[in-house]
Structure 1
């Protein structure tokens, strides 16, 4: 029964944020204007800059920023107790993530769709731009290299998910063509969802596996190469052809998944078996502060969202006022996924008693996606009567498709960054879309196989840096938005306060990890962590200098 209270209070808080707080920020602080000509209309090249229906764009934005992170982070962080996890997800969504995502969309749209790294030059200065883009590229490299591994692992362990995952691409291509020909969106959405779930059902009878070795490479390594070839092609296609419809269909799939999970809570009224505050943590467990705030990123606030907001989403914004719907409501969608994840891994659907729960969560890092799929499938079976096997396939496909859309967008965003470097440093070859894409994919594969050997898991080596690096990037994005507001003589407290909180937590986490890597003798991570920490300090100092100079002449 306690799970119902968690759901009701959490959703009520996020809806209040959407109807009240986001409306205030949009109208009084960002002052979104319907008459402003967005880059999608100003450039409109039919490939990257395309005016897009706000519902379709919401689907792209939400599924691109979500990935598996709003599942993985909360499913791990609940180890410290479900109360701190729920509080950070709910308040983080309302006061951090929504403002961050909507603000990045607004700032980018006001600077011709530039990425947050590139527009930081206009707002702060050239030195900041160079530093900012280093962190952005590093985060994208981590995300793309690791999500390739995540999807490949899922394909190997869940062969039932392979057919529906690739079928979703076929469905998206067909829907993209029909939308381009002005077919009605609602029936296309319904048909797309039906076909997608039919493929999920078919997938349970059509498991697809690669041979254990192909030309000396394991099946997982082969899947990684196939996925990056696909991502390279997908990143070069016009956004309306694959990216938008695929993300939109995945967004609708998420709504169905959330309906099943939340409905199951109200039908079965499950009890919570996880502790509100876990006092029986393992001896080597790090402190909840600051680690909670970098473990749960997506679902509370995430720097990767700023990359997507200012990378692909801002180039498709039909009206500036759509930034509230796409950005803030996208964050609410992600927060709702994080909230139901906490419920799924905290209740009797996963563990019948507190003792069993502690057996599953024996240490920090236990549980994660497997706990979500197990707990969520049992929850759906208890609430709706669907078989655990079918429910598990639905949730596994949902995780794979989210990771896939994030990887699609991530490679495209990497291409944007490389092309922007070509513009900034006048390197003609890097301005070319195909060359930039090859460089993007090449760096990911170099990391995957250069650092990871024939397994292709090299991205996992630097993945431990993602938590603190990602949140430092979020604070840097909020800082750029704050400086922009100060220059416009508008209140910046609504972005400065979240920025200061996030940078303190992320910086402390980075320091803790730096010590941890040094003691473990992992000098690669020591070096990369030190670079990110130094860059963040330099950006903060540069921004403070700009604010002081601007205040002095007012």
Structure 2
């Protein structure tokens, strides 16, 4: 199979999804209103609620939801062959991910930009909300702790990525000042910012930063993890316009250009896909493709984490409701293109099937390092970029994706901690909530691994937890649509599919954890399974009740709050 054919067909499917299917969703299902006054205007505070240019907000949303997962998942899942991974990414992006992200953004925007966890209290009840928050907290814990490990590993294995990774923060701070204080035009800021980032890559390639084996008694990996958490904690407390928004926007442009470079190299070199369409010779111990494919590739097909971002930060910055189509659905398109590029890189970036099989000698092999190595080979062959610089570009892409997700993840986990505190009758300020988040995530990172790698201990549950979160989010969107008497099948069918595959995968993992006597993961698996099933059963009951009840108008639905719902500021209503 020629990789160029794979790229053209995949890109055409995903782009057609945005041009056609997202328009149908926006007009017929969610019925986006350009005159609706969004929470960004209603509650503008200069910190979290800020009406934002849709291009800037798309950059924040895209880079926040992408992370390393759309690279890791597909780069592992191709062990079953490129065909299943390709189909799930392309069809998933069009009919699952884009619909889910747009739906979560719309639902939150129509409810004071409240988080999806708070909305569960309004639409499926207090007990469902409490269990919902448990799933959200565990998912964010997995993302924040594990992505710190991914980033630190890349900074150690690819020291040429150190300067561009940390230099991007300085660029972002300057971009924020240029946009909001100096009032530079967005095109000028974009050109200067992206140019600075690529200049940093050239600088990093020439001056790699290699840390000594131990720093202050910590290994190099552990040192980077501590620095990352300290940075993420500080960044999560700053106004979004100062660092989060500009960092994500300029990274989003740079990362999309990086994708363009990768696809350009594929177009020119047209490498042959050496991996099989369906791999019948999988290594011993590889689990069955059903249901594991659908939880191994989460981000890039559909991801519950996206719903948390959509309702946690993005909904607070939407200037016009109609922007949600571009921000939400097209954000999913960007991630789908990244996953598709990853699939091509890790199946066509090897000289032979034997070389590919050597890397994929066991389930779980591949991942980010395979993407960097194989993708770098394609850039070198197609565009003549030196192998070292190619690896720097792709490693920096992966690091910046993961870092921006971690930035947003810590901020979101702070919101969740404040929400839980409100339920318990505790008013937790920004600093206290942030310190709790850092204590829990770093406690996991270093409590289960002296080098800070403890975040990977619970990572095996990420895929199933993430997909269950997507199903739970879709269940709330379904309840809202049923109350409004809108078309519900475009949401309900993906909800049933994702819920079934996720629960099935959790039961499969229960057996694996039991056989391995991994009691920690077994207990967490049970907690997640029980919480999710409870919420799903409650949600389907709420759907049935909504269908029987009289229809309500959008204004009537918006005016109804759960008796214990939280206001956007995080405080309880008086």
Q: Determine the structure 2 residue equivalent to 1:516.
A: 512
Deviation at 1:507, TM superposition (A): 0.8
In the TM superposition, residue 467 of structure 1 has moved relative to its aligned partner by 0.8
Aligned to 2:197: 196
CA–CA distance in structure 2, aligned partners of residues 8 and 197 of structure 1: 27
Structure 2 distance, partners of 1:101, 1:229, is: 29
The answer to whether the 8 Å contact 2:295/2:463 transfers is yes
Residue 371 of structure 1: how far off its partner (Å): 1.3
Distance 1:268 1:212 in 2: 39
1:62 aligns with 2:62: yes
CA distance in 1, matches of 2:418, 2:318: 21
What residue in structure 1 maps to residue 431 of structure 2? 434
- Poorly superposed stretches of 4+, deviation over 6 Å: none
Q: Secondary structure at the match of 1:458?
A: helix
| Corresponding residue number in structure 1 for 2:566 | none
Structure 1 stretch 361-370 or stretch 168-177: which is displaced more?
361-370
Q: Are the counterparts in 1 of residues 26 and 325 from structure 2 also a CA contact under 8 Å?
A: yes
Cα deviation, residue 364, structure 1? 1.7
CA shift at 1:254, angstroms?
Answer: 1.1
Query: CA–CA distance in 1 between the matches of 2:210 and 2:373?
Result: 22
- Taking only aligned residues, the RMSD between alpha carbons, in angstroms, comes to 1.1
Encode CA deviations 1:419-471: one digit per residue, 9 max, x unaligned: 2223333212x1x111111111111011111222x211111111111111110
Aligned equivalent of 1:369: 368
Q: What TM-score results when the alignment is normalised by the length of structure 2?
A: 0.94
Bigger Cα displacement from structure 2, 7-16 vs 520-529: 7-16
CA deviations over 1:214-269 (Å, ceiling 9, x no partner): 33221211111111111111000110000011101111111111111111111112
CA drift of 1:541 comes to 1.2
In structure 2, which of residues 527, 530, 538 is the aligned counterpart of residue 531 of structure 1? 527
Question: Which whole-Å CA distance do the structure 1 matches of 2:190 and 2:477 have between them?
Answer: 35
Counterpart position of 1:115: 115
Aligned to 1:306: 307
1:388-426 CA distance string (max 9 Å, x none): 111100101111111110110000001111122233332
In structure 2, what is the equivalent of residue 335 of structure 1?
336
Mind listing any 5+ residue stretches in structure 1 that lack a counterpart?
Answer: none
Aligned equivalent of 2:445, options 437, 445, 448: 448
Q: Is the 8 A contact 2:345 2:375 kept in 1?
A: yes
CA–CA distance in structure 2, aligned partners of residues 397 and 285 of structure 1 = 30
Deviation track 1:314-354 (CA, whole Å, cap 9, x = no partner) reads 1111111111000000001100111111111111xx32222
Q: 2:486 aligns with which of 480, 484, 490?
A: 490
| Contact kept in structure 1, 2:59 and 2:252, CA below 8 Å | yes
- Residue equivalent to 2:561: none
TM-score with structure 1 setting the length: 0.97
Q: Is the 8 A contact 2:483 2:549 kept in 1?
A: no
- What is the CA-CA distance between 1:549 and the residue it aligns to? 2.6
Q: Say if 2:135 and 2:469, in contact at 8 Å, map to a contact too.
A: yes
> Which residue in 2 is equivalent to 1:356?
355
Deviates more, 1:217-226 or 1:302-311: 217-226
Aligned equivalent of 1:472:
468
Partner of 2:228: 227
The alignment status of 1:3 with 2:18, answered yes or no, reads no
**Aligned partners of 2:541 and 2:198: how far apart in 1?**
54
In structure 2, list runs of 5 or more residues that go unmatched: 551-574
Aligned to 1:266: 267
What is aligned with 1:145? 145
Segment of structure 1 superposing worse, 61-70 or 355-364: 355-364
CA shift, 1:210, in A, is 3.1
Superposition deviation, residue 366 in structure 1? 1.6
Query: What's 1:251 paired with?
Result: 252
SS at match of 1:320: coil
CA shift digits 1:121-142 (9 cap, x unpaired): 1111111110111000000001
Q: Could you tell me how far apart the structure 2 residues matched to 1:153 and 1:269 are?
A: 31
2-structure distance, mates of 1:169, 1:550: 47
SS at match of 1:133: helix
**Counterpart of 1:541?**
537
Correspondence for 1:285 = 286
In structure 2, distance between residues paired with 1:220 and 1:358: 29
The Cα offsets for residues 149-193 of structure 1, whole Å up to 9 and x where unpaired, read as 111111222211111101000000001001003210111111111
Deviation at 1:357, TM superposition (A): 1.8
Q: Secondary structure at the match of 1:402?
A: helix
Q: Distance in 2 between matches of 1:235 and 1:500?
A: 35
Partner of 1:419: 418
| Matches of 1:264 and 1:359, distance apart in 2 | 24
The alignment partner of 1:207 has SS state of coil
2:206 paired with 1:205: yes
